[in-house]
Chains A and B, each alone.
Chain A
Amino acid sequence: MSGSQKPLELILARNLLTSVTTPSLLVGRGGQLLFYNEAAGALLGRPFEDVGQMAPDEWTRAFGPFEDDGSPTPIEDLPLTDALREGRPAHGEFRIRFSDGAYHRIAASAMPIVGGGDGASGAMVIFWPVDDEKAREVTTGRHEVVR
């Protein structure tokens, strides 16, 4: 028996995100990366299938967000932590590393996902570039899916 089966609300959230064309990711209760969609894979440079699930410090080290000095922003400072801890939506702007290797500014909104148990069982994060050129690529669908 698989001991780590995801709660139904996370299964449904992942199904939904596969149909969302805005870059989005799904994190678990502890901040671990559970899934990101094709649009996010295009920005980050790697499809989720190549990356798999990651611990919080792993995915923030790989993708960011990063501080101005290049160090990863602590996960406690991300809006998704508010979403998970306080069960409320949160929003912020950050620098992350895209598939072109360069740092870009993004806006990110995190929404808690609540099921039958206590507190949030995870959160959905939708993000998009806010520096002009990348933002134009995403909003016009001009990004390529990396396989």
Chain B
Amino acid sequence: MRVKVWGARGSVPAPGPEMNRYGGNTSCCEVTLSSGETLILDAGTGIRTLGFSLPPDLPRINILLTHLHLDHIQGLMFFPPCFRAESSIRIWGPSSPEASLEARIARYISAPLSPVEVRELPCEVSFLDAPASEWQIGSATIRAEAVTHRGPTLGFRITDGDTTLCYIPDHEPGLGAALGELDPEWISGFNLACDADLLIHDCQYTDEEYPGHEGWGHSPIDDTITFARRVGAKRVLLFHHDPLHTDGFLDDLHRSAAARWVSLGGSEGAVEIAQERAEIVVEASGTGEETAPAPVSSTKVPAPANQVSV
């Protein structure tokens, strides 16, 4: 399985020279399965450039939406395959008792926010509620479960052969909970991420920033790393960067997170930070001593030195 990051930013696109290295596009990852099939995780603004890179004769495109916040769907309307009659696109997302997935997405792809309506798209597009049980796309078995965020939000567990990727870009599992002490059954997202070879996870805030954003649906470094250690993830990709965080700031955030991981017994080099256009090969890393470590104590990590205030 290969993952390519097309957008790692959270909340709102953040272009600018001080963001060039990590990029300013919002959430979007391309997953290439061993069967050759492509999955797209979220449709933030990163999906626009991804769309240009896809072969025009790709038979079918599957887009898995974790939720419908704008930073996860904003690129849909600018996704080139949407405007090709020969494209077949399936969009999977969280169900809601309030309205169908199509009706909820159409609130964005409709006037006055959009010059086109969903029904005007020339492609063949279908909107599907993510099933409650596992389902198959190409060589991947996919499982979706609700996770702690604001509004109906899913995380995805994607297993291809003996390799597992877990994608939870917007997640606040530590909200009102001591992640280091809880039994696994009471931790949001635990089963999704358990023993994942790569966990792509929300790490929007430093521990110092978090108290001002508690309940906003995102994680600070300490909760991200504690969660990753509790679930026994083999590698972690820090994701959903705050739009205020510059390249230098994210370098320091990455160092702090890596130090925290090692302090909890994790191996060096297993914590990475998402960078636009970066490609990651996900390989099975086996099980063993890294699996589901015992509860850990929670210690806050110092803020990166070059924190900006805006």
A interface residues, Cβ below 8 angstroms from B: 1-9, 11-12, 14-16, 18-19, 115-117
Contact = CB atoms under 8 A, between A and B. Distances in A.
B188 A2 contact: no
Classify the secondary structure of A's interface with B: loop
Interface in B258-305: none
Contact of B132 (A2, A14, A16, A116): A116
Contact of B185 (A4, A9, A16): A4
Contacts of A1: 191, 194-195
Given A15-B175, A15-B176, A18-B176, A2 B185 contact: yes
B148 A11 contact: yes
A15 B187 CA distance: 10
Interface of B: 95, 132, 145-148, 152, 175-177, 184-188, 190-191, 194-195
A112 B109 CA distance: 36
Contacts of B132: 116-117
Contacts of A19: 176
What 5 A-B pairs have minimum CB-CB distances, sorted nearest first? A15-B176, A8-B146, A2-B184, A1-B194, A5-B191
A140 B304 CA distance: 45
A32 to B, nearest CB: 13
20 contacts: A2-B190, A4-B185, A5-B185, A5-B187, A6-B186, A7-B146, A8-B145, A8-B147, A8-B188, A9-B146, A11-B177, A11-B187, A11-B188, A12-B176, A15-B175, A15-B177, A19-B176, A116-B132, A116-B146, A117-B132
A11 B176 CA distance: 10
A117 B188 CA distance: 17
A115 B191 contact: no
A19 B186 CA distance: 16
A13 to B, nearest CB: 10
Contacts of A14: 186
A142 to B, nearest CB: 26
Contacts of A116: 95, 132, 146, 152
Nearest to B129: A116
Given A8-B146, A15-B177, A116-B146, 15 more contacts: A1-B191, A3-B191, A5-B185, A6-B186, A7-B146, A8-B145, A11-B148, A11-B177, A11-B186, A11-B187, A12-B176, A19-B176, A115-B146, A116-B95, A116-B132
Contacts of B95: 116
Among B145, B177, B186, residue most surrounded by chain A Cβ atoms (within 10 Å) = B186
Contacts of B186: 6, 11, 14
Nearest to A4: B185
A2 B194 contact: yes
Given A115-B146, A117-B132, A5 B190 contact: yes
A54 to B, nearest CB: 15
Contacts of A6: 185-186
A79 to B, nearest CB: 25
